[in-house]
């Protein structure tokens, strides 16, 4: 069930109306839990059993960890949670990847090995709800939160439909207290929440799907036929597509949750105006980058233990972050590029700190960061190395863009300029200065854009596949 579908519109309107009619907070929570399971069941009914089983296991293990005083026993219970969750994720997401690579390795050793066809459907959202659930057991193990949450509340935290299939990866410590206490949305929250949904759908349907995705698809399908500015337009178009697609989804998720009175953290904060790669990862997919920082980078040692170990930890974190996105060496390459960028930036900050502190150099640093980020998107989008190399080499060949490619370049230029202008604010802070007339114009523009692009090619959100 896609946010940008009429089916979801009817689903949300029905759930929201029932939510407002119910006066008991307990009844409202049951409603949201049942609705969330229905939302997930609409995609693939049997796979909701995996979601329920994973939820019950982590809730039970967390309670055992919370009650246990012996360090060795607590550590063992945490390992059980980690192994159970990551094994489930590995089976569905990386089983085919492991088999195909085993076939290649066996062939290199002279052994003819032909694995069975891997025909297992990846449960939508499994990467997101696995990380959200793991944050609970890990935080309980660290004694940062208590495991006294009722099973119903914990199940709602994991399955709440706005963030279930593509995030943001909301931490238990942030959402469980909101679920525990009775809350209701104000008229202002509902209004701003619906505005965020409209803006998110506009970003998805108009900017990502209509203006940018077709250009990226054409260029990556035949990179040799689009040299120079055409290939660059394809690279920039995908950079814009994935931002407006995933950023649009995050706006929808935050807005939908706000309509029910829940606050989700921001997931994007104008990343294409970043000054350096550490700044980029403070702005891009914030819920994932902070999760990797708190549960992977810091446990590996973080920036403790010397420069070499810090760089090693950065690289390992980004490699695993790349692999999290999908079972492909292209995603690993994308993670390796960002790990290399972060390491290089760290070295440069020590050698030339003035480069990053000089406000006069900020525009140059932003442009360099943006260009390298866009080039790193090539292996993320390309289906294989040959296509990625072809796109990269086409960028450096002479050629003029087509009309659609020129439009994509213009859209991205305007997007980066807008992000640069308000990079030090949140969207809410920027919108707070809008007049009522401006708010009305923005809402009207979003609705008109959605109406004009309705009935076309309906694409799933990109991050559904992760």
- Decide: 133 and 170 in contact? Cβ < 8 Å: no
Q: What are phi and psi of 67, to 5 degrees?
A: -85, -15
Distance from first CA to last CA of the chain, Å, rounded?
A: 16
- Please calculate the CA angle 368-322-349 and round it to the nearest 5 degrees: 40
Eight-state DSSP code of residue 400: -
- Can you tell me the distance from the alpha carbon of 103 to that of 22, in angstroms, rounded to the nearest whole number? 57
Active-site option among 163, 285, 325, 338: 325
CA distance 334 to 379: 6
Residue 140, Cβ density class (10 Å: 0-12 exposed, 13-18 middle, ≥19 buried)? buried
Exposure string of 159-180, with b = 16+ CB inside 10 Å and e = fewer, is: bbbbbbbbbbbbbbebbbebbe
Residue 163 among the catalytic residues: no
Residue 66: Cβ within 10 Å count: 17
CB of 347 closer than 8 Å to CB of 379:
no
Distance CA 232, CA 236 (A): 6
Q: Would you state the structure tokens that stand for residue 308, as one six-digit string?
A: 């070499």
Q: Tell me how far CA of residue 140 lies from CA of 54, 58, 77, 174, 419, in angstroms.
A: 17, 11, 11, 14, 38
Give the C-alpha separation, 8 to 373, whole Å.
34
Per DSSP, the residues of 55-76 read: HHHHHHHHHHHHH---HHHHHH
Cα angle 244, 247, 253; round to 5: 135
Helix/strand/coil for 149: coil
User: Could you tell me if 396 and 378 are in contact, meaning their C-beta atoms sit under 8 angstroms apart?
Assistant: no
d(CA 36, CA 32): 6
- Token readout for 202 is 């506009």
CA distance 222 to 209: 19
Q: How far apart are CA 83 and CA 442, in angstroms?
A: 47
Known catalytic residues?
A: 325
């Amino acid at each position: 069930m896609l946010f940008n579908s009429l089916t979801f519109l009817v689903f949300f309107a029905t759930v929201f109306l029932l939510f407002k009619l119910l006066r008991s907070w307990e009844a409202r929570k049951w409603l949201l839990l049942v609705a969330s399971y229905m939302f997930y069941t609409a995609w693939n009914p049997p796979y909701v059993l995996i979601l329920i089983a994973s939820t019950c296991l982590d809730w039970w293990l967390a309670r055992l960890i919370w009650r246990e005083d012996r360090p060795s026993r607590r550590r063992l219970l945490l390992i059980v949670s980690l192994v159970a969750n990551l094994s489930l994720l590995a089976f569905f997401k990386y089983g085919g990847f492991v088999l195909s690579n085993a076939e290649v390795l066996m062939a290199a050793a002279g052994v003819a090995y032909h694995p069975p066809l891997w025909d297992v459907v990846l449960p939508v959202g499994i990467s997101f709800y696995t990380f959200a659930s793991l944050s609970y057991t890990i935080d309980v193990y660290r004694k940062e939160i208590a495991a006294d949450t009722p099973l119903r509340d914990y199940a709602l935290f994991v399955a709440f439909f706005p963030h279930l299939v593509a995030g943001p990866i909301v931490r238990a410590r942030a959402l469980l207290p909101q679920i525990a206490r009775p809350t209701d949305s104000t008229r202002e929250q509902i209004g701003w929440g619906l505005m965020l949904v409209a803006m998110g759908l506009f970003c998805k349907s108009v900017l990502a799907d209509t203006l940018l995705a077709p250009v990226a698809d054409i260029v990556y399908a035949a990179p040799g036929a689009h040299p120079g500015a055409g290939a660059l337009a394809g690279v920039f178009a995908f950079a814009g597509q994935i931002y407006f697609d995933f950023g649009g989804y995050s706006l929808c998720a935050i807005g939908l949750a706000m309509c029910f009175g829940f606050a989700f953290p921001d997931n994007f904060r104008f990343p294409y105006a970043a000054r350096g790669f550490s700044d980029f990862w403070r702005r891009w997919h914030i819920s994932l980058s902070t999760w990797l920082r708190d549960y992977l980078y810091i446990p590996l040692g973080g920036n403790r233990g010397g420069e070499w170990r810090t760089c090693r930890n950065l690289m390992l974190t980004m490699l695993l972050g790349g692999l999290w996105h999908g079972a492909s060496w292209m995603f690993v390459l994308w993670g390796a590029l960002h790990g290399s960028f972060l390491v290089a930036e760290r070295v440069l900050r020590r050698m030339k700190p003035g480069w990053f502190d000089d406000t006069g150099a900020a525009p140059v640093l932003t442009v360099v960061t943006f260009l390298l980020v866009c080039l790193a998107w090539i292996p993320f989008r390309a289906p294989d190395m040959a296509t990625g190399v072809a796109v990269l080499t086409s960028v450096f060949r002479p050629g003029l863009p087509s009309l659609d490619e020129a439009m994509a370049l213009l859209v991205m230029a305007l997007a980066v300029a807008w992000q640069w202008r308000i990079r030090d604010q949140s969207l809410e802070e920027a919108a707070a200065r809008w007049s009522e007339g401006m708010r009305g114009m923005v809402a009207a523009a979003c609705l008109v854009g959605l109406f004009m692009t309705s009935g076309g090619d309906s694409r799933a959100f990109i991050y559904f596949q992760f």
